[in-house]
Structure formats: structure tokens, C-alpha cells
Structure 1
Amino acid sequence: MAGPVPPPPLAQFAGSPTRRFYTGGKLDRALGIDDLRARTHRRMPRFALEYLEAGSEDEATLAREREAFGEWRFLPRTLVDVSERTPARPILDRPAPMPVIIAPTGLNGVFQEKADTALAIGAARAGVPFVQSTMSNDTIEQVAAVAGLRHWFQLYVFGPDHIWQALVDRAAAAGCEALVLTSNSQVFGNREWDARTRASETRPSLATIANAAGHPRWLVTTLGHGLPSFVNVIGFVPKDHHGFFQSAFWIREQMPKSLSWDTVAKVRARWPGKFLLKGILNPEDVKLALAAGVDGLVLSSHGGRQMDWAVAPLDILPRARDIVGDRMTLMLSGGIRRGTDVLKAIALGADAVMAGRAPLYGLCAGGADGVERALAILHKELCDAMGLLGISRLDQLGPHLLEPMRAL
């Protein structure tokens, strides 16, 4: 089972006693994201955990996302008045209680029914944006109906132009604040774990079925109304490919290998609101983005699920900030598990971060309430870490408060 790189053993205990995580249903007893993750592993069948946790091939990119955060150490200031501090910071020129956004994740219907709406409800309660995926299992309009939500939409370009144009127009009509175009998924990452859960392209293995049958609560709350559907795009899929697996593979095959900066320009011309480009990991592409008319970039490895042995977003964040200066919003997605991760990203140049797996652990642990709990944990950790670091506002952060543990 793939997962975040475990922390080293505590030196004072030499790995003993074994630390236990809370896996019960009282969400207020979940003290860290790892508690929500532990409950997720207790509740979800193996194939759903593989989908949530795994990366591509050797999962080196996945591991690097967490390792990169571990290679920076804080230089805390003391004897500083931190009695009044706030992690509030604007996101795309609008106030937010912290610089955190729920990242786009597709096929959340394998975790529970109406999962995308639950994520949106949790985000709205916490006051942070939620990015709905093209491959979500609730409609754009259903998510847009969540009261108080800062609703963003993530776009995959696939098939003829009229498909992405229709999705863009629907997102605009639904009042989405921002459009996030994913740039690094035209060739699907080699996710071997996915193939191992299936006996064929369209049929799960007997072991997968047997394991899922051992999770009756998941069966009732997730598959009670059948397998999830890619409801926002299923109308574009040929009728003989409307099955769950058939539609997923058909959409994957329609991803154009010709996606280019010309495509970015076409989307920019059609979309009336804020426009972000997600999936950048090369400084040369950061430079090209400056001339592309986008409002911001999201440095992202797609959760370690695309190119293996790639750099982590945090690795190129300082160079990306040097390139864009204050001319563009710069965000990071990948590896966020602690408030200290958020602090490091902001100190190294990010305006905000996107968290994917952390709120999904909350979703699996307790639906919308679990999502809200995950975000509350990050907010508390962020505020506490600011006090320990000796700052009252996030604009006081910078590289001067970090020390690299390796030559960069």
C-alpha cells in the first residue's frame, strides 16, 4: 500500500512505544490529518485506498512531494509578541481565513455518494475555495448550489473542441469564480496498482470484489445507488461506453496529445473569469505562462500520479517566484499534510496551496463534517506554528525564516 513517506522514529524513544492514531467516529478527537487517514484506512476497501494513496510506477514523485518539505527547517524567532496572529490571506484578491484551497480530485464517488458536494460543503463552512474536477461525480450545478461556496472548476481538454467549450460555458453559467486548466494529463501516468485491481479492463478482480464485500458500510453509503458516473461529461460519451469502466477508458483515450499553448489561448479567450494553469513543473514553462494571459499557476505533479521521478512542486517554487515576481499568482499543490507545510510553501514564494489527499481523508472519515475537520486541523496547526515561529501575519514569512538541509 502506497502512502506518504513515514516520519523517522522519534530519537528519544528509538521507535518505541508504537504511536497509535485515533480511528473512531468522534471527529473532534482527530488531532492531526494522520488520524483521519487512519480512519480512512479502516473504513475503505483496498481498491479505494489504492486509488486515494497511490502514485505512478515506482512512486518516486509521490514520495518526493513529502521529502521536499522535510528538507527545510525553520529558524524560529523568540521574544516576539504573537498574542494576536492570523493566518488569513487573500486568495485571488478575495479574503480567505487561510491560504488553502481544496484541490481538484476526480472519481470521489468511490469514497461515498455525493462526495463532491460533501467536499464543497466542508470548504464552504471553512471559507476556502473548492475546485471541482471535470471527472467529478456530482454535476457542476449541484455543487454550485452549496451556500457560501467559492466554487472553482478544473478543466480537462478532451475530444472535439465543443466538449471543453460546453464545460467552460456551464462553469461560467454556474457562477464559478475561477477556471483551472490541467496541463499534464494528456498521457496517462503508468499506475500499475490500478491494473492489478482488475481482472480485465472492465471487470474488477475476484480479490477486489471479495475485499469490497468485507466493507458493508462502504457498500451501502457508496454503491447503494450503483456505480458512480462522470455526470458532467457522460453526455459526450458514446452510449455503448456509458458503463463506469468503459466511460473512464473512453475519456482517457480522447485526451489530445496536441494540447499546447494555442489551446491555453483558446480557453483564455472563452473564459471570462480568473484563469489558472495547473501542472507546471519546469521553469521554462513558467516563463511561457507569463505571456499566455493566465492569472496564475499551480505547480503540481498531479499528486505523483503522472511523470515518475519528477521534481516536487516545492523544489521549483523559489525559482518560479523569481521568474514571475509579483506579476502572477503562484500556487503549489502536492504533499500538504500539516500547517507547517503551508508555512514553508508560503515562505518559499507561494500565494496559496492546494490540498488534495488531506481533505479526502476527512471525507472518507466523516463526510462533509470530516472535510471541515481536516481544514480546521490545518488552520489550527498553521496558527500555532506561526506563534512558535514568531510571526503574527503570513506576510512576515520569507526564506529568511528557513534553512535548507541540502544544497539547492
Structure 2
Amino acid sequence: MSKVASIFDLECLARERLPGVVFDYIHGGSEQQLTVQRNLDDMRALALRQHSLRDVSHRDTRVTMAGDPARIPLALGPTGLAGLTWANGECEAARAAVDFGVPFCLSTCSINSIEDVAEAINQPFWFQLYLMKDHKVNASLMRRAHDASCSALVLTIDLHTQGKRWADEKHGLAVPPRLTPANIMQMVGHPRWLANMAGSKRHTFGNFEHEIKEAGSIGSLSKWIEEQFDPAFDVNTARRVRATWQRKLILKGVMNPDDARTAIDIGADAIIVSNHGGRQLDGAPSSISVLPEIVDAVGDRIEVLFDGGIRTGGDIVKAIGLGAHACLSGRAWLYGLAARGCKGVTCALTLLEQELQDCMLLTGLDNLQRIEPGVVTAQPPLGRR
């Protein structure tokens, strides 16, 4: 078995193991993928200033995220169709998160259902909600999340329409993938993936199987979901969710200080600064570039979480150093799941924790909640000033 030294190694293993149609879905973004690249480039452009003459023999990485404990300041963010990369993928990832000690968030557009995950881990988890035009479906999903003891509802606010993902349209991505000649050739060429997927409990969007009549037809169900994203979603919509959901409410997709202040006004418990991993508005700024102004706008009145471009433990330090309370990651753990299932997710978390510890040692940090100004900074200009 190949030695894995970084998230990038897991990415390579995922690329090898998955058919192109599936890998391109989890790896890519919308249109020209400008925002996907900005998330990575802008994170890498930040510098970490060292403080060496400090005792960092005792370091604390623990934190609470929306009231739930986390061994490191990271949660597994919601990713659609994780169960297309590994049989029962959402359940496998949730088990890894629980065993490691970090929160897990299930996507509305998952393969495993809310109930599947609740049965698999028997512990509270977060549920990410895409609001549909069909209000009965929304009410049912929230009720099911409540009955499954979900501790937080993560309301995505940036999906008034689905971003155009050119690779998915080219491949004809569906759930399961459409049997075009090209896709059949890709699947046949990945026998390990095919054999693994044969053991999957479900082969469609698990959360919708018993919600709508279209669920019996894969094509009709996919079309129904795409047509259900609501351009009328506004602050009053979010207020109605707040009035219905009595546990922790997190708004995901905040990229503007005004939306962050509005989240406070409606009584949200936390926000996630996120551009949807570059999968919605192509050309949007990176999440890390807008994080400081959002933190400045809300201060300590609401918990600010960060999502967008986390690939190393040092990236977590950078986000917290710019004001985030903690982070979420999607692709990092998804690469691990696609490569090695539950063990791959654990591997991804272990790598990020080890890198986080190393970064703290080398920057003179013993507590991530006390990062001094200037530790995370722009790269200094070359030459004398």
C-alpha cells in the first residue's frame, strides 16, 4: 500500500481509484474554476512568522464548535454524493469523525440518509439543509434531523441556483452516473471502485427516497432537485428556519459582512465564511481573503467558522490567525474517503493534526485561541525597505 504523507497524496490515490466522472465531481468547481484556484493560491500566499524562543512543550488544540467538542479546530464539512466515492461513504466518514473526535456534517444531497448516519454512529451530528421550493420537504427534513438528534442545522444560503459545473455537464453526471459509452469505459477501468460500490446500501439521494414521488426514477429525481433551488431565498426565509429549528443554527455561505450582521440579527449561533468550495459563483474572491473583514464586522458576537482551501494543518493556523474560531474541510476528507474509506478519512484527520502540531511548535504557539496579530501575515517584500 502506498505511503501517504499529505492530503495531496490522498488526492492522487482518489484520482487513481475513481472513474473520471466521479473524481471530477468531487475535485472540480464551477465554470473556469477560478474561485477553486483562488482558495488555494490565496491560502498559500499567506506567511507564518516564527517565534522561536518560547516553551511550546504543552499545546492545546481543543475547541468547541457550535457547542460540540472538537479535538482539533476542524469539522468534516458537508459534501454531496460522498457515497459515490465509497460504499456507504457518509456513514464511513461519520464513524471516522466520531472516533477521532471532531464534528461531522451530513449533506442534504448525500447518498446515505439522515437515519442511516444516525444508526451508524448513535451520536449527535450536524445536518446541512438546502431549502427547496417544496416547503413540505423542508419541514420533513428538519423534523427528521431533529428526530435523529442532530445538534446543529447548517443552512446553506448561497444556492439560489446551482453553479454550472462544466465537467459534470460534459460527463453527464447523475446518481448513479449515466451509462454513456465513455462513462462505461471509465467504470470498467476501475474494478476496485465497482466492486466496492456493489456493497452500498443506497444508490441514489438517500434523504429524498421517501419524500417525493420522483424518487423512483433517478433521472426525474436529479431534475427535481435542480429545479427546487429557490431564487426567492432571503432573510425572511432564514428567519422562518430559525423560528422552526430550536437547536444550534449555522449559516453557511457568508461572504459579505452585511450577511454576517444579518445572521446575528436573526439569531444564528454561528456562520461559515465559505464560497462553496468554488462550486457556485465562479470569479468570487477566496474565502480567506474576505475572512478578516467579516470578523471585524461581527467581533465576538457570533462564532465565525471558515471553509475554503484547507489542505494542511498550517492552513488551519492561518484561518484562525485571521480571526476564525475553527474550520471545516470538504475535499481533504473526501479524498481520504475516496482513497481508503473510513481509514482514509482517519488518515486525513491524522495528517492535518500532525501538521497543525508541527506548525504550532515552529510558530511558538501553545494555544490556537491566542494567536498574536502578525503571526499570519502577507509575504514580506523582498529587498531592503
Short-chain TM bin = over 0.9
Tell me how far apart the structure 1 counterparts of residues 310 and 71 of structure 2 sit (CA, whole Å): 17
Confirm or deny that 1:100 pairs with 2:74.
Answer: yes
Among 330, 352, 360, the alignment partner of 1:386 is 360
In the alignment, is residue 349 of structure 1 matched against residue 323 of structure 2?
A: yes
- Correspondence for 1:315: 289
Give the aligned partner of residue 12 of structure 1.
none
Residue 78 of structure 2 aligns to a residue whose secondary structure is: coil
Q: Distance in 2 between matches of 1:60 and 1:302?
A: 13
Task: Tell me what 1:111 maps to.
Answer: 85
* Paired position in structure 2 for 1:212: 187
What does the per-residue CA deviation read over 1:331-382, in whole Å, with 9 as the maximum and x for residues that have no partner? 1111110000000000001111110001011101111111111101111110
Q: Report the TM-score, using the length of structure 1 for normalisation.
A: 0.89
Identity %: 36
Once the two structures are TM-superposed, the CA of residue 226 in structure 1 deviates from its matched residue by 8.8
Does the CA contact (< 8 Å) of 1:124 and 1:150 recur in 2?
A: no
Question: 1:226 & 1:148 partners in 2: Cα distance?
Answer: 18
Counterpart Cα distance in 2 of 1:406 and 1:310: 26
**Structure 1 position 224, deviation (Å):** 5.1
CA distance in 2, matches of 1:257, 1:223: 37
Q: Secondary structure at the match of 2:273?
A: strand
- Counterpart position of 1:403: 377
Q: Which runs of 5+ in 1 are unaligned?
A: 1-23
- 1:229 aligned onto 2:204: yes
> 1:104 touches 1:132 (CA, 8 Å); kept in 2?
yes
Give the AA of the match of 2:335.
Answer: Y
Which residue of the partner structure matches residue 45 of structure 1?
A: 19
Establish whether residue 302 from structure 1 lines up as the match of residue 276 from structure 2: yes
d(CA) in 1 for partners of 2:76, 2:125: 10
Distance 1:207 1:286, change over 3 A: same
Distance 2:173 2:98 in 1: 40
Separation in structure 2 between the aligned mates of residue 200 and residue 52 of structure 1, nearest angstrom: 13
1:169-318 aligned at under 5 Å gives the runs 169-198=143-172, 203-223=178-198, 228-239=203-214, 242-318=216-292
Q: CA deviation at 1:225?
A: 5.6
SS of corresponding position for 1:399: coil
Give the whole-Å Cα distance in 1 for the aligned partners of 2:128 and 2:148: 13
Kept in 2: contact 1:135–1:232 (CA 8 A)? yes
The number of aligned residues is: 380
> Do the aligned partners of 2:174 and 2:222 also contact (CA within 8 Å) in 1?
no
Q: Over aligned residues, Cα RMSD in angstroms? A: 2.0
Query: Who is 2:49 aligned against?
Result: 75
What is aligned with 2:136?
A: 162
Matches of 1:314 and 1:199, distance apart in 2 = 30
Partner SS, residue 400 of structure 1: coil
Instruction: Return closer, same or farther for 1:352/1:199 CA change in 2, 3 Å cut-off.
Output: closer
User: SS of 1:297's equivalent?
Assistant: strand
**What is the TM-score when the length of structure 2 is the normalising length?**
0.94
Whether the aligned pair in 2 keeps the contact of 1:124 and 1:148 (CA below 8 Å) is no
